[in-house]
Amino acid sequence: MNATPLHPWVIANKDGMVEPVHCDCKAGLGETCSHVGALLFHIESVHRLMSRRTVT
């Protein structure tokens, strides 16, 4: 609870191509950490939910 919040970020083109990624955790210095992966997964999930059409 007292840990400093991490700040992963991603830059992506409109076509979905991921450019640079970064996180301020220790593993993020190599630009490969699970925080960035979780952020990308969340973005994909939100995109799928937003593009789903509901039938009413």
The pLDDT value recorded for residue 41 is 92
The pLDDT value recorded for residue 26 is 79
- Number of structural domains in the chain: 1
Asked if residue 56 has pLDDT above 70, the reply is no
Cβ atoms within 10 Å, residue 17 = 8
The pLDDT value recorded for residue 12 is 87
Residue 26 is encoded by which pair of tokens?
């220790």
Q: How many CA atoms lie within 13 A of 33 on its CB side?
A: 19
pTM: 0.71
Cα–Cα distance for residue pair 21/28, rounded to 1 Å: 9
Mean pLDDT of 27-54: 82
DSSP 25: S
Asked if residue 6 has pLDDT above 80, the reply is yes
Domain span at 41 = 1-12+21-56
* 6 φ/ψ angles, rounded to the nearest 5 degrees: -90, 160
The pLDDT value recorded for residue 29 is 65
